Amino acid sequence: MSTAQRFEDFSAAPDAPAPVFGASQMAEAYRRGVADGEARANATLRADLLRALQDAARQAQATEELRQSVRRETLDTIYPVLSAVTDLLAAEGTARLLSLLRSEIDRVVLSGATPICRIDAPDAFIALLGQELERAGLDDVQLHPHDRTEIRFHAGRIEIDQPALVAGVRAILSELHDAEES
Confirm if 120 and 144 have CB atoms less than 8 A apart: yes
Contacts of residue 149, defined as CB under 8 A and 6 or more positions apart, other chains included, come to 97, 119, 120, 121, 122, 125, 159, 160, 161, 162
101 lies in which domain range?
25-181
Task: Report, as an integer, the average pLDDT of 118-128.
Answer: 84
120 contacts 146 by C-beta, under 8 angstroms: yes
Residues 45-73 have pLDDT tens digits of 999 999 999 999 999 999 999 988 888 88
Q: What is the pLDDT of residue 35?
A: 94
**Is 18 among the domain residues?**
no
Judge whether 39 lies within some domain.
yes
In a domain, 16, yes or no: no
Distance CA 26, CA 143 (A): 110
Q: Which of 85-99, 104-118, 166-180 has maximum average pLDDT?
A: 166-180
Domain count, the chain: 1
145 strand-pairing partners: 121
Q: Is residue 176 part of a domain?
A: yes
Specify if 15 maps to a domain: no
Q: What is the pLDDT of residues 136-155, one digit of tens each?
A: 777 778 889 988 788 777 66
Residue 10 lies in a domain: no
Domain annotation covers residue 4: no
pLDDT digits (tens, 9 = 90+) for 84-101: 887 777 766 667 777 777
